[in-house]
Amino acid sequence: MSPIDVPGAESLLRQAIQARDPAYAPYSGFSVGAALLDTSGSVHTGCNVENVSFGLTVCAERTAIFKAVSQGIRDFRAIAVVGPDDRAACAPCGSCRQVLAEFAPELAVVTPDGAGGIRIWSLTELLPAAFDRTDLRAGRPS
């Protein structure tokens, strides 16, 4: 039982599994799918897209959020993330946590729990003290 309630979390996780299908991961073999739920109830999906120049690879979570933001959507409730194994936990990487925090610092992150269930994290739990606008202002010379 997760302390955070996300209605439809299981459905969101299933959509992340489906979103994983077109993943392009020839180098790592680690295909990832993400399903991002916005506050209107729409779901925006993404998969990872690798590149032979590894640093140019984009994760599934960032694919999903960039797709949504490019369509004018900026308010999100939850994201489900699944790696190659439908049952294994697969939390977002640090880069994705920072990008998600830009738009949804209170986002719920849904992952398999490794035992056939679901675990729901808060993004603040996964990325405490995220770099944010206050840090940007504080770093400017006066």
Chain position whose Cβ is nearest to Zn ion: 59
Instruction: Give which of 57, 29, 59 is closest to 46, Cα–Cα.
Output: 59
Q: Which is nearer to Zn ion, 89 or 93 (CB)?
A: 93
DSSP code, position 55: G
- In contact, 100 and 65? CB cutoff 8 Å: yes
Interface with Zn ion (CB under 5 A)? 59, 93, 96
Q: How far apart are CA 95 and CA 114, in angstroms?
A: 23
106 is catalytic: no
- Least Å distance, CB 33 to Zn ion, is 12
Q: Which is nearer to Zn ion, 7 or 105 (CB)?
A: 105
CB of 88 to Zn ion, least distance (A): 16
Nearest distance, CB of residue 86 and Zn ion, angstroms: 19
Q: What angle do CA 117, 121, 122 make, to 5 degrees?
A: 155
Among 10, 61, 102, 125, which one carries the catalytic annotation?
61
Q: Which amino acid is at 18?
A: Q
Active site members: 61
